[in-house]
Amino acid sequence: MRRRVRGFAVAIVSFAFLAPAVSARATADGGAQPQPLEQFFDSRAVSDDARPALADFDGYGGSLSARDLTAAGWTPGRALTVQGARLTWPRRLPGEPDNVLADGQAVRVGGRGDTLAFLVAGTGGADVGGTGSVSYRDGTRSSYVLTAPDWRAGPLATKAVALPHINTPGGQLAQQARLYVVTVPLVRGLRVASVQLPRAAGLHVFALSVRASGGGWTGSWAAATSGVRAEGPWSDRTVRLVVHTSVGGPRVRLRFDNTFAAAPVRIGSATVAVQKAGARARDVPVPLSFRGGAGAEIPAGAQAFSDPLGFKVPSDANLLVSFHLPGPVTAAPVHQLAVQRSYVSTTGDHTADTSAAAYTTLLTRWPLLTGVDVSGGPGSVVLVGDSITDGDRSTRDANRRWPDVLAARLLAQHVVPRYGVLNQGISGNHVVTDRYPGDGVSTDMAGVSAVHRFDRDVLAQTSARTAVVFEGVNDLRGQTTAQQIIAGLREIADRGHARGLRMLAATILPCEGEVRCTAAVDVERSAVNAWIRGAGVFDAVLDFDAVLRDPQRSARMRAVYDSGDHLHPGDAGLAAMARSVDLRALVP
């Protein structure tokens, strides 16, 4: 189902509102024994460009281009990791059955985790969905609702991959085809035995798997992809990124994301080190591996986790993450506002360099790298926000964003667990409007909406326990109404609760004095804040408005906390926000 709100679409993903409903005993699915998914393949989605009539995905002769899939790195039999779930693109030739139309089939699936991931698309012209069930080894069963966006009309903002053409018997169309990874919750701790698919006309399933819960790992640092921008071009260059940890641990793994991209990217080699100064490492950088190899090719829309590495990651410290791009790279997914200087080298693989000599070019954004996990720990708190969370107007290279100050507070106490803190702020981000369209190279790096990025930037984060949502001022300044923002916040809260997260919201800061923060905007801001405080939708409220507002003029930020633009707090204001958080509110 989709809802149209003042000219933009808000996707309502019905499965996300439902926690698994568990029955006491499982029953046989029509008496049939569960079979591997490929045994049920009855639909042909992929065709050779020269013989498009061999496939008919939508019932009208439309199909996916095998050439486009290969160009995206989605080759037959290839394992793809999307949103932390490992899914295998069907090992089928063009024109062979490569997906199943969901009609209640009992599929054999194993594993234990928190989420069931489906690689899907609908072909009915709109979202299509239905109810299915999961059977567990102990005999219990849970239900789920799966909704698949349409392969031609679904949102680009939530796609796994978009292909540039659609094959038809009458010729190739220059229209995009989209595939989606959709997740539904599982009962934690139980081992899955089988999955009964929904009965839903036009719902195609290509792959499914159980996503591991991330147990044994804690997210220490993260950055949300804000868009795809032109880069370089880089060819045979090494990127050395400076990132700041929240918690430490004896082992590390890194996550690289090719989100929103149209083509694969190749990482030739990668290392990790503790920073000494600038691009200089304290010790010789330690090489990472990817499924046993020195590097990895990341397909369009997918991600790669490095293998676990015995490396002592300090808490509250800067790491150098270096990766060689054999090239050429002309565009890359990035987190645009790093508030941190990183580096690009001269020609060559300089990942093992301790010296900074080869790193001659400054970089003020984080391309490709999206996560640093450490072994052990109690899990992480994920902070979803806009430029105030992202650290705009905080001191560069000083790690004075309010998430950094919160992380330092957690490290310095013993009352609550020392959670990792993951900053998923994106400068310019909105709750309900996509600033970045979700596809292609763009000059707008304000990201897709919080509603659209919630699954990727919160639910798929490593061992997320609690989420804090602190957004809305950009929506208000763009004339979005309080009721539209409230609807988006309510949806986010419901989706987080359905996955067992503790959900917190922060009130929107006053901004009188900034050109678009008019008196009318402040009326709407006050309405959103009143709802956050009083509706009881979130488990707790961080009242940042009350902390930073001028007691003599409630629509304006106190001067001591103002960075000078009347919209963003400076270092003092960010610290005051972090210090005001009752740490006990973060505990599930």
Residue 20 near residue 134, CB atoms below 8 Å: yes
Answer whether the bond into residue 285 is a cis peptide, omega within 30°.
Answer: no
Say whether both 329 and 407 belong to one domain: no
In a domain, 216, yes or no: no
Q: How many whole angstroms separate alpha carbon 405 and alpha carbon 579?
A: 8
Say whether both 583 and 462 belong to one domain: yes
CB within 8 Å of 7: residues ≥ 6 apart: none
CB within 8 Å of 515: residues ≥ 6 apart: none
Q: Give the pLDDT confidence of 427-464 residue by residue, as tens digits.
A: 999 999 999 999 999 999 999 999 999 999 999 999 99
Say whether both 358 and 384 belong to one domain: no
Q: Looking at residue 514, what DSSP letter applies?
A: B
Classified as helix, coil or strand, 451 is helix
What integer pLDDT is reported at residue 213 of this predicted model? 81
Which residue, of 301, 336, 368, is where some domain finishes? 368
Say whether both 361 and 420 belong to one domain: no
Say whether both 361 and 408 belong to one domain: no
Which residue, of 323, 342, 368, is where some domain finishes? 368
Q: Which two tokens stand for residue 337?
A: 């506002």
Say whether both 509 and 452 belong to one domain: yes
What integer pLDDT is reported at residue 451 of this predicted model? 98
Residue 148 near residue 122, CB atoms below 8 Å: yes
What integer pLDDT is reported at residue 32 of this predicted model? 77
N-term to C-term CA, the chain: 31
Among 443, 447, 401, 442, CA closest to 428: 447
Say whether both 237 and 348 belong to one domain: yes
Residue 547 near residue 576, CB atoms below 8 Å: yes
Say whether both 389 and 504 belong to one domain: yes
What integer pLDDT is reported at residue 52 of this predicted model? 97
Residue 145 near residue 131, CB atoms below 8 Å: yes
Say whether both 479 and 584 belong to one domain: yes
Classified as helix, coil or strand, 156 is helix
Q: How many whole angstroms separate alpha carbon 33 and alpha carbon 30?
A: 9
Say whether both 320 and 394 belong to one domain: no
Among 293, 324, 322, 318, CA closest to 306: 293
In a domain, 373, yes or no: no
Which residue, of 335, 368, 401, is where some domain finishes? 368
In a domain, 218, yes or no: no
CB within 8 Å of 169: residues ≥ 6 apart: 52, 53, 61
In a domain, 217, yes or no: no
pTM metric for this prediction:
0.94
In a domain, 438, yes or no: yes
Residue 370 near residue 257, CB atoms below 8 Å: yes
- What's the number of CA atoms in the CB half-sphere (13 Å) around residue 177? 25
In a domain, 221, yes or no: no
Look at the block and give the residue holding tokens 């698919």. Answer: 197
In a domain, 473, yes or no: yes
CATH of the domain at 471: 3.40.50.1110
Residue 87 near residue 80, CB atoms below 8 Å: yes
- Domain hosting 355: range is 227-368
What integer pLDDT is reported at residue 215 of this predicted model? 81
Answer whether the bond into residue 233 is a cis peptide, omega within 30°.
Answer: yes
Say whether both 121 and 264 belong to one domain: no
Q: Which two tokens stand for residue 58?
A: 């939508």
What backbone torsions phi and psi does residue 28 show, to the nearest 5 degrees? -65, 140
Say whether both 569 and 424 belong to one domain: yes
What total of structural domains would you count in the chain?
3
Q: Give the pLDDT confidence of 180-238 residue by residue, as tens digits.
A: 999 999 998 999 999 999 999 999 999 999 998 878 999 999 999 999 999 999 999 99
Classified as helix, coil or strand, 458 is helix
Average pLDDT by consecutive 10-residue portion of the chain (588 residues)?
Answer: 34 45 46 91 98 97 98 98 97 98 97 95 96 97 97 98 98 97 95 98 98 91 98 97 98 98 98 98 98 98 98 98 97 98 98 98 98 98 98 98 98 98 98 97 97 98 97 98 98 97 98 98 98 98 98 98 98 98 98
In a domain, 219, yes or no: no
What integer pLDDT is reported at residue 29 of this predicted model? 43
